[in-house]
Structure 1
């Protein structure tokens, strides 16, 4: 498996390039509009055919690069089940598996940060956690129908029950961390360590965070799969 972790400094977003070396077929998870040329160049350099752009959720901090990448490659757009994106070619249900040669990408529904969110378990040893679980943190729960109790259940009942050695690759990082493991996060993540469900809810509800700077433009654009012209026309 070819696996690359790519970074957008402006939004602190990780994009993941995953490809099957045998067939040269690839997918991108959480592409960023401002990095489309970088990603497209890398695909060309590695002689890869982009088949899918996959979103963990409808983002509020950046506009997805899916629409532009579709225009360049003809790839399909994939979002979680129930995500408000009628433009998507496919909505992945909990437990559904997307295959690409020898690669399997299993959707694990992990709502809470938003009301429709998937983590993706890749080949049984990598978990792309989106904004449900960060390295030593987690996504916020105070907008887009987020819910702290639901996020606690998603992380503790679905992600923390994966094998200990599973590599954790988050959707964002703000501290220079790139990869962890399920065992590490279960043991050391301060958002969850020593907190029951009720205390987690109290903690998250008291955070009082400012809205993401691009929220008003990013959410409607991402509901249109990154088509900025469609979003502004709504």
Structure 2
């Protein structure tokens, strides 16, 4: 990453979620993106990295991206950022919630500034976080894939427009950091995705919708957590 900034990922949970620690090297302050599944593991990683948690950033409200937020807040008094359209859609609430607008910026330490980008399609208020030469995309864009649009609040036509805007607006060398480990590599540049990602090859919205929704029923519920998973009590 750029001088003064680092991105560190942890693979966590039964659905191969990536939890990101995005930090400012001089101050050792970090934002954690989409803390889920096990707060003690996230706290232990903060200690191992010898960094200070300064903010929690949420790409969207699905439980596999936020179910450790409240447990982390029990030990860390930090702001939690989520876009207003997602809060309105989901009713998400927690202590220290900052209801944000597209284009709002979150500053961490001396060198790190993240811009909140509205990237709907997977959910109405999905957010990607832009940093110098990277973008954290949550469940909007994966390596060689993209987020499902059949869950409640999903919209494949909106997703098509979102993906096109991401590719058109961001430099080709931008590194994309997805919300799950669903591809052959943990991350990829956008120009590599233009070459390899089948969901970015469709010339028309009709072609994209047919591909993304093949075999899917619109407005389905989010799958439940695995039966052997127990909610984190913040121990």
TM-score range, shorter chain: 0.7 to 0.9
1:191 aligns with 2:194: no
Contact 2:37 2:232 (C-alpha < 8 Å) held by counterparts: no
CA distance, structure 2, for counterparts of residue 117 and residue 201 of structure 1: 18
Shift, 1:144, TM fit: 2.5
1:85 pairs with one of 88, 92, 95: 92
* 1:53 and 2:56 are equivalent in the alignment: yes
- How many angstroms apart in 1 are the aligned matches of 2:226 and 2:99? 24
Q: Are 2:16 and 2:180, in contact at CA under 8 Å, matched by a contact in 1?
A: yes
Counterpart CA distance in 1 for 2:167 and 2:145 is 13
Query: Which structure 1 segments of 5+ residues have no match?
Result: 218-225, 229-234
User: What's the counterpart of residue 171 of structure 2?
Assistant: 163
Q: Is 2:68 aligned against 1:65?
A: yes
- Indicate the RMSD between aligned Cα atoms, in angstroms: 2.4
Equivalent-residue separation in structure 2 for 1:204 and 1:111 (angstroms): 15
Partner of 1:223: none
Post-superposition shift, 1:179? 0.8
Whole-angstrom CA distance in 1 between matches of 2:58 and 2:72: 13
TM-score (norm: length of structure 1): 0.84
List per-residue Cα deviations over 1:18-46 (Å, max 9, x = no partner).
11122221110011132x11211121233
Alignment TM-score, normalising by the size of structure 2: 0.84
- Large movers: runs of 4+ above 6 Å: none
Cα separation, 1, equivalents of 2:24 and 2:65: 28
